[in-house]
Structure 1
């Protein structure tokens, strides 16, 4: 008996490939511009801006300081090339012209032995230098003047003190009257007579601060001491 052949229908179902896990994930959102900036970037920018600010301040104030200096120099008397200065505070500079001595808030000029004349002529010489014969207000000022002249030979320096029409009334060139507690007369001075002008009699004895002597105003053998205010320079901005 012949064998029977059995046919079976076999169906193959097409199985889809496994899903790609990467493809199935959601698409990432791109980072914004600020999110992509490194954390150190703001600090670097702050430093740069600070340096630019400092440079700007220098550019502004250095020319200003130069302008202040030029203005100050223009205010000085003519022929003032060199200055002797003292820094009184952080922002205040006091200066005197060349050849003048600085003490506290005043400048002093001591004439030489070849510059001798009468009291009135000496006062005119001081006025030509925009000053006056010295006015002595305190003991420290008297000490300063003595110290500046202690090495000189015997001589007289005119100071800004004269006797008025009223006998015994002494007045300074700035019109202030003499203070009896701040006088430095020599012994037995002031003397009587027509001696109405006052000099400092220098005799090489710096320990003796009482050296005022009244003399005739017409005597032409006296040197002189001029006094003026210092030139104040404001160093602040």
Structure 2
């Protein structure tokens, strides 16, 4: 009821514009509920992804070209410098070092087959560009009482002219050839890492028909 001065008396009904506030509250509640439902649905998708570690790792892996070849992943919860994304991932069974994933095969193929196999997996024969990487791979490849040779991505394209598979410039001072290697014989134009050995200089040049193991490399997927 209105009094003479136009004010609402205690206990009187509020004007229509004030009663509208209750509808605003309803809309806020509905929007909040929809947001919660969407969040639960997204989290549910994460739970069914075939990750090997925690279930809240992101679904963006399935959108990466390299990742199309694999269904299971292992991810490290770490934020690489210069990025705001929080997972660095490699396919299950691959080994991660810094920003790369490495596959060390258990079967053997010739040189061309090894390169093709890596390509089919969205990778390439490994390109070794640092001592730290050479140390890591030598340690990974070594098995007690067993000698193994792994193809790597270094090829002789002309007489004594060596080139990495991805066109990375070949730096002779940063190469890890065994003593007396590479030898001058024609047709010996592929490169293998010989392990186990205590010496980091463990590269041999080999004939392309040799059936050896291989090391494939691809950039880790960051999501």
TM-score (norm 1): 0.67
Shift of 1:62: 5.4
Contact kept? 1:84, 1:102, Cα under 8 Å:
no
CA-to-partner distance for each residue in 1:206-236, whole Å, 9 max, x for gaps? x31110111111223x111101111221xxx
TM-score (norm 2): 0.70
2:220 maps to what in 1? 230
Gaps of 5+ in 1: 1-29, 34-50
Matched, 1:157 2:146: no
Shift of 1:58: 5.1
Give the match's secondary structure for 2:116. helix
Listed as ranges, the matches of 1:158-177 within 5 Å are 158-165=151-158, 167-177=159-169
Contact kept? 2:123, 2:218, Cα under 8 Å:
yes
Shift of 1:136: 0.3
Q: Could you tell me how far apart the structure 2 residues matched to 1:179 and 1:108 are? A: 22
2:25 maps to what in 1? none
Q: Could you tell me how far apart the structure 2 residues matched to 1:72 and 1:63 are? A: 18
Give the match's secondary structure for 2:216. strand
1:139 maps to what in 2? 131
Q: Are residues 87 and 32 of structure 1, via their aligned partners in 2, closer, same or farther at CA, if it must alter by over 3 Å?
A: same
Matched, 1:73 2:65: no
Q: Could you tell me how far apart the structure 2 residues matched to 1:181 and 1:199 are? A: 18
Q: Could you tell me how far apart the structure 2 residues matched to 1:189 and 1:150 are? A: 20
**Dislocated runs of 4+, deviation >6 Å:** 30-33, 51-57, 65-68
Query: RMSD of the TM alignment (CA)?
Result: 3.1
Q: Could you tell me how far apart the structure 2 residues matched to 1:58 and 1:106 are? A: 37
Q: 1:117 aligns with which of 109, 112, 116?
A: 109
Q: Are residues 74 and 176 of structure 1, via their aligned partners in 2, closer, same or farther at CA, if it must alter by over 3 Å?
A: closer
Shift of 1:60: 5.5
1:19 maps to what in 2? none
Q: Could you tell me how far apart the structure 1 residues matched to 2:30 and 2:135 are? A: 54
Shift of 1:59: 5.2
Q: Are residues 70 and 85 of structure 1, via their aligned partners in 2, closer, same or farther at CA, if it must alter by over 3 Å?
A: closer
1:44 maps to what in 2? none
Matched, 1:197 2:190: yes
Shift of 1:93: 0.6
Shift of 1:95: 0.7
Contact kept? 1:170, 1:177, Cα under 8 Å:
no
